[in-house]
Structure 1
Amino acid sequence: MARWQINLIVLWFGQFMVLGGMTMIIPFLPLYIREMGITEEHAVATWAGLIFAGNFVTSFLAQPIWGNLADRYGRKMMLLRSGFGMSAVMVLMGFATHPWQLLLLRMLNGTISGYAPAAVALMSSNTPKEKMGFAMGTLQSGAVAGTIMGPFLGGLLADAIGFRNIFYVTGALLFTASFLSMLLVREKFDKAEQSAKPKISIVQSFKQLSQVPQLPSLYAVTFLIQFSMLCTMPLMPLFVEKLHGPGGNLAFYAGLVSSVTGFSNMIASPLLGRLADRIGHERILMISLIGASAAFIPQALAQKVWQLLAARFLLGIFMGGLLPTVNALIRKHTPGGMESRSYSFNSSALSLGNMSGPVIGGATSSFVPIQGLFAVASGLLLFNSLWVRRTLVRKLPSGAE
């Protein structure tokens, strides 16, 4: 096998484990907090939102620092720093006895994270140009698979081995992935060449990109999509418990509800992408936003777990036309040579939605039930579709496809 192929296999496994480990705690997090002695429902939801978002807050702040160090010292070093560091922190989470300890560890985990961007940078600089698309697509599939399977496996393992043991298992798997990366991954890195490249001001880049009116609109769409999707997550396990009743593989059903959207997303994404090539990415984005908005309504009306699962599966179908289409449109409207910077600002919008959605959803749980949050998410996505129509669809040239 060629060196880049070995790198790809090892880093795919690493991506899967890192993203799976990050999301594995979603289905049982409120139940784990309750096991620590926090029993009041609003307090559980608030802690769950803070703990879930804590990782994204510090990651949002720390990533530019690790990116600069990666350019100076190499991507493999940053990859190993992140992988081994997160494996240790994940094990420590299993020893937490109070939610504030878990919150601090999640924030520490976000601070030292960076495996995924380091893996992408390493593959992009060590893969033949004619194989770049295949390598990037395959590597991304590892991250998507981890994000989808994480909540499902977390719910399954929680019923089988208990909450705390999941952290130990995840830490061991992260350590294994990092150890394999240390042994098998190789990179070609010219420190002098990287240091000679000019530094570009973030503020100046943002001002230049903001002159393209479609880009700020797309960044706002990304934020609202993530906020709408995640504002209900802290309350979802409690809602599943209400529909299903206590016991009886509760964590499994909570994980299935959290991950079922990912399965339908994977099915729908290539189909909607092919359709977007025919009728336009702008129109598919608007249609998907309207569909996702409508899919939140039956979630609010669900009386059984299977009804919630069906509605979440439907939501995932329309999600398949959201972020992938936004990414395609960002590439379409970004000036040549500024693609990476443009996507970095969109990633910031994504992280902001990941941070604020769970926090606000958990904090408002005392006076807004989850059915109300479903309605808010539906309204935001509907507003989003009108925004897309005004800023993107109406700007299409006459007869454009």
Structure 2
Amino acid sequence: MTGTIAVIRGFGPVFAILFGLQFISMGAMEMSGPFWPLRIEELSSSGGIFALAGIGVYVFPMVGVSLTSALWGRMGDRYGNRLMMVRALAGLAVTQILVSFAEDVWLILLLRFLQGCCAGYIAPAQAYGIQVTGGRNRGVLLTWLQVATNVGSLGGAFLGGLILDASSFTTINLTAGSICAVCAVAAWVILPRPAAETSGAGRSQARQNQAFRGQATPPVWGLLALTGMMLASRMVLQVPFALYMAEVFRAPHWVTGFSYGLLALGFVVAAPLWAQFFNDRPASFILGWMIPIAGGCALLTILAGLTRSVEYFAAIYLFWGGLLGGTTPILVALMSAATADGRQGSVLGTAQSWQQIASVAGIAIGAGTTQIFGLTSVYPLVSLLYAASLFAAVGLWFFARSRLPVGDSL
């Protein structure tokens, strides 16, 4: 942990600003995350509309992000990632305020889709961070930016539950929109414009990245596939989670929000440790560890589906989040390291698009399974999907191993 702290200090004050902006803005958006099915159920006139809109309220913004993130990434490479960050935050603010006044299910779905099209904040924030740090310790950097998102998710979900218990869903969205607007102004005013040319240290790091790419880096498409599979497995629970908590545990809203946020807490605690553990390690070593991580996720999710104790369920979510801390940010860092410096926005935007596509698939699978087989079927399904991710990780590990120079090892 001491090494991680030293790396973070080396990033400078810009990193603290980036972390704060991502923590606050993503936390604001997550305040409504676990409670959308309750709002859609309230406004739906039939069970069929609820089933369709309950999926769409999560899927539509993801479709919007998947359609536009690669474009915004290319725009960031051309016109600046800082500008794309401000644009995304402004878009989130406007659409979140508008959706707070919507009382029609179909209007909410339309606004959520537009919100996704206007969003895409995470990819330019990552590319900007890599640019201003010269590509140094990108795995640690991307992990801490992801930590910011998950810290925000933890606080946002819990705060959203408190607001919903005390006030209304409209208040949640108005608060979130106002926070995003403040973040957009802060990003424009505070964040410095990065230097056009990389420093000598940055060029040295770029040469190291090129050497790394030439040795044992698996193809980006393989990393995208593994990332998507693991993310889809988790997102199966997005729609049924609040309903599962209400039906199985009879939990109040604040317990639902707290349990939902424990996944993020586990991520926050473990992700920096995973990042430091994987820092400067070859791709084959990292992919070798993805195998037991995927297996651990499969085991924990089947246990979550078997328990009828909310305390054990919450503990499982905490440990599950700890394992997830060693997945997405690490895999995205591998993709970044395998890509030329001038295309960081494009590859990170593509990664975000692919993650949204995977999320849509996971949500659709989870909602469909719930409708057909009931709420108790979703956790065994998630466990099976993680088992499939395990086999994908084995394939990528063998690929990376086959490209190691003779005499090298994990």
Partner of 1:235: 240
Structure 1 equivalent of residue 268 of structure 2: 266
Instruction: Pick the aligned partner of 2:291 from 286, 293, 303.
Output: 286
| 1:178-198 deviation per Cα after TM superposition (whole angstroms, max 9, x unaligned) | 2223333331576xxxxxxxx
Aligned residue among 345, 363, 367 for 1:358: 363
Q: Which residue of 1 aligns with 2:353?
A: 348
Letter in 2 for 1:262: A
Q: Is the 8 Å Cα contact of residues 24 and 153 (structure 1) preserved in structure 2?
A: yes
Tell me the TM-score normalised to structure 2 length. 0.79
SS in 1 for 2:373: coil
Alignment partner, residue 145 of structure 1: 151
1:186 is matched with which residue?
192
Query: Superposed, which structure 2 residues align to 1:78-157 within 5 Å?
Result: 78-126=84-132, 139-157=145-163
CA distance in 2, matches of 1:172, 1:306: 35
Change (3 A) 1:381 1:115: closer
CA contact (8 A) 2:102 2:108 kept: yes
SS of the aligned residue for 2:372 comes to coil
Query: Structure 2 CA distance, aligned partners of 1:26 and 1:17?
Result: 15
Counterpart among 20, 33, 41 of residue 34 in structure 1: 41
Equivalent residue of 1:232, what SS? coil
- d(CA) in 2 for partners of 1:130, 1:355: 33
Aligned equivalents of 1:241, 1:38: Cα separation in 2: 21
Determine if contact 1:15/1:139 at 8 Å carries over to the other structure.
Answer: yes
Unaligned runs of 5+ in 2: 1-10, 197-212
Task: Say whether the 8 Å CA contact 1:16–1:142 is kept in structure 2.
Answer: yes
Task: Return 146-155 or 98-107, whichever deviates more.
Answer: 146-155
Residues 47 and 362 in structure 1, CA contact (< 8 A), matched pair in contact too: no
- The gaps in structure 1 that reach 5 residues or longer are 191-207
Shift in alpha-carbon separation, 1:226–1:271, aligned structure 2, 3 A: same
Maintained 8 Å contact 2:99/2:108 = yes
Q: CA deviation at 1:9?
A: 4.3
Structure 1 match to 2:397: 392
The answer to whether the 8 Å contact 2:14/2:191 transfers is yes
Shift of the alpha carbon at 1:223?
1.1
Shift of 1:75: 3.6
- Rounded Cα–Cα distance in structure 1 between residues aligned with 2:189 and 2:349: 30
In structure 2, distance between residues paired with 1:296 and 1:286: 16
Shift, 1:228, TM fit: 0.7
Distance 1:64 1:98 in 2: 31
Deviation of residue 5 (structure 1)?
5.8
Q: Is the 8 A contact 2:232 2:361 kept in 1?
A: yes
* One-letter amino acid matched to 1:242: E
**TM-score of the aligned structures, taking structure 1 as reference length:** 0.81
Alignment pair present for 1:251 and 2:253: yes
Counterpart amino acid of residue 162 in structure 1: S
RMSD of the TM alignment (CA)? 3.5
CA contact (8 A) 2:34 2:260 kept: yes
CA distance in 1, matches of 2:49, 2:241: 15
| Equivalence for 1:205 | none
The answer to whether the 8 A contact 2:142-2:329 is kept is no
352, 367, 372: which one aligns with 1:367: 372
Contact 2:95–2:114, Cα closer than 8 Å, also in 1: yes
Contact 1:151 1:258 in 2 (8 A): yes
Distance 1:135 1:100 in 2: 39
Q: Secondary structure at the match of 1:367?
A: helix
How far is 1:368 from its partner? 2.3
Which AA in structure 2 matches 1:18?
S
Structure 1 pair 158–186 and aligned structure 2 pair: CA distance change class (3 A) = same
Q: Cα distance 1:9–1:280, how it changes in 2: closer, same or farther (>3 A)?
A: closer
- The AA in structure 2 aligned to 1:118 is P
Q: Once structures 1 and 2 are overlaid, which stretch shifts more, 369-378 or 286-295? A: 369-378
Alpha carbons 1:76, 1:187 under 8 Å: kept: yes
CA distance in 2, matches of 1:331, 1:75: 15
Looking at structure 1, the residues matched to 244 and 296 of structure 2 have their Cα atoms a distance apart, in angstroms, of 23
Aligned residue pairs, count: 376
Structure 1 CA distance for aligned equivalents of residues 94 and 24 of structure 2: 14
